[in-house]
Amino acid sequence: MDAGLLTLLKIFLSAAFVDNIILARYIGLCPYIGMSSSVANSLGMGMAVTFVMVLASLVTWVLWNFILVPLHLEYLRIMVFILVIATLVQLVEIILKKNLPNLYRAMGIYLPLITTNCAILAVTFFGVDYGYGPLQVAIYSIGVALGFTVALLLLAGIREKLQFSKVPGFWKGYPIVFISTCLLALVFVGFKGLIK
Amino acid sequence: MGIALPGIVVGVLGLLFGLMLGWFAKKFAVEVNPLAQRIEEILPGANCGACGYPGCSGLAKAIALGNAPVNACPVGGARVWLEISKLVGASVSEIKPQRALLLCQGGRGTAQEFAEYHGIEDCRAVAVLGLSPKACPFGCLGYGTCERVCPFGAIVIDKEEKLPVIDWQKCTGCGKCVRECPRNVLGLVSQEDQVVVACTSLQGAKEVRAVCKKGCIKCQLCVRTCPVGAISFKEGRIVIDHEKCTLCGACVEKCPTKCIVFVSRSKCVAFSDLKSIGEPTGVKG
């Protein structure tokens, strides 16, 4: 296989599975726990996060490489990147409200909460830290977003089953959710040897 | 000069993004029901959720569509309801403003305490323990959860008695304290003059006598005293039928433990007389 293509595949797979943003890096746990109560909700959240994550990492990549680095303003990146993410989330909200009002209502408060989703900020940081090119950043962020969505869907499926199982009283609610997350994370350790 | 460059960069970026958002907001503008918008302007904007909708805008939409009554906002009070009803053309006849009331008189010195609590100063935390420093298992714990959840600052814990005092001038009847109280000793009552049993205990005479001077001992003297038969004894509790009650005050006088109380001389029920609203007498729990 072509070397460039192979690198892209590696970036994608490692972003999605080996370094899964939630189950291997433990970033973005709040929307993960908050939105994983049903498969339908988590799918909507996954799609919204994918959209914002990919666009945000591309826009921040441009800003980083053509404005912040040439002007030696690297220390401003938290502020500038958050600005980009917040704007994008607002944009998604406006577009959803107009074109997909049903999804907009289903997302409710979680749509604006993407603004403070640390996973998205982390992806924009990693994207510039790893020194990726524009195409690589795009592939990387798609991979992370896919990994996020997969993790969300896995937990949502488990939680839907959990509702019908006998859970000891002191584990009911969030404790058993975190324990399930922990077991899922152990499963994802198995991906560590996937890429050399 | 060190600050100029970053200032300009962030400023220009912010302006750029802001303009872009503004343009998009115009381009993708969703038509809002103008009636809902005007109703939202009237609503208090506390976004407290007491109406059952996520926020004031949700309620405004529901009222505009006719899915919610004009008096759905408990916080707004009669003035807001009247204005909304003028806007949508519905009647306000069934509106009754409510206020929170403490249904327990077992303060320090009245109710017996058998332990000293050292822990998180929060009634919910104490209730989770399943034990209480107060000997009565129904009484007010007095650690001020209601004081902290009240969005309007209407509740203050009395230092000496360790009981909440509710200021009816500030109370809007949103019911937040009623929902948060782990002991269910707070209730919503209509703002009219009325007679209320200020004790929620379900225990028998012997147990109540042992722990509280002002607890209901279920002697049912009030049931026999009431000249119009408005008081009955149902499921271990004294129940007062406010429809029948004539406010004669005979039960309040006869009650041996003084747990039937007369609530306020507020003069704020008639909706024709809106000027007097907001001047009810404060009720001390």
Span B111-135, pLDDT tens digits: 888 888 888 888 888 888 777 788 8
Task: Answer whether B24 sits within 8 Å of A94, measured CB to CB.
Answer: yes
User: How does pLDDT run across B194-217, given as a tens digit for each residue?
Assistant: 788 888 888 888 888 888 888 888
Strands B186-190 and B194-197 turn out to be unpaired
Nearest residue to B196 via CA among B135, B269, B282, B255: B255
Instruction: Check whether B270 has a pLDDT greater than 60.
Output: no
What's the gap in Å between the CA of B140 and the closest CA on chain A?
27
Identify the closest residue of chain B to A67 by CA–CA distance: B9
Contact A56, A120 (CB under 8 A): yes
Candidates B10, B17, B54; nearest CB to A76: B10
Own/partner pairs, B275-278, CB within 8 angstroms, 24+ separation: B277/B77, B277/B78, B277/B79, B277/B97, B278/B77, B278/B169
**Predicted pLDDT at B9:** 87
User: How does pLDDT run across B31-52, given as a tens digit for each residue?
Assistant: 777 788 888 888 887 777 777 7
Cβ-Cβ contacts under 8 Å, A63 against chain B: 13
**Please, which residues have CB within 8 angstroms of residue A30's CB and are 6 or more apart in sequence?**
A113, A117, A118
The size of the A-B interface in CB pairs under 8 A is 43
**Predicted pLDDT at A149:** 92
Q: CB distance from B1 to chain A under 8 Å?
A: no
Q: CB distance from B9 to chain A under 8 Å?
A: yes
Would you state the structure tokens that stand for residue B252, as one six-digit string? 């309040």
Binning pLDDT at 50, 70 and 90, where does residue B268 land? very low
Candidates B9, B14, B28; nearest CB to A73: B9
**Comparing B149 with B95, which gets the higher pLDDT?**
B149
Binning pLDDT at 50, 70 and 90, where does residue B244 land? confident
Would you state the structure tokens that stand for residue B84, as one six-digit string? 């909304």
**Predicted pLDDT at A25:** 87
Q: Where in chain B is the domain with CATH 3.30.70.20?
A: 98-284
pLDDT above 70: percentage of residues in chain B: 88
Largest CA distance in chain A: 59
Q: Which residues of chain A have pLDDT under 50?
A: none
Tally DSSP H helices, then E strands, for chain B.
10, 8
Instruction: Check whether B267 has a pLDDT greater than 60.
Output: no
Instruction: Check whether B12 has a pLDDT greater than 80.
Output: yes
Residue with tokens 């970036």: A11
Would you state the structure tokens that stand for residue A52, as one six-digit string? 């914002």
Q: Does domain B98-284 have CATH number 3.30.70.20?
A: yes
**Predicted pLDDT at A106:** 67
Nearest residue to A82 via CA among A108, A121, A46: A121
Would you state the structure tokens that stand for residue A114, as one six-digit string? 């993407």
**Predicted pLDDT at A143:** 94
Q: What is the mean pLDDT of chain B?
A: 79
Is the four-CA dihedral A30, A36, A41, A43 of positive or negative sign? positive
In eight-state DSSP terms, residue B192 is S
Q: In sequence order, what are the beta bridge partners of B187? A: B101
Measured distance CA(A102)–CA(B239) in Å, rounded: 47
Measured distance CA(B175)–CA(B242) in Å, rounded: 20
* pTM, entire model: 0.53
Q: CB distance from B4 to chain A under 8 Å?
A: no
**Predicted pLDDT at B91:** 62
Measured distance CA(B237)–CA(B203) in Å, rounded: 9
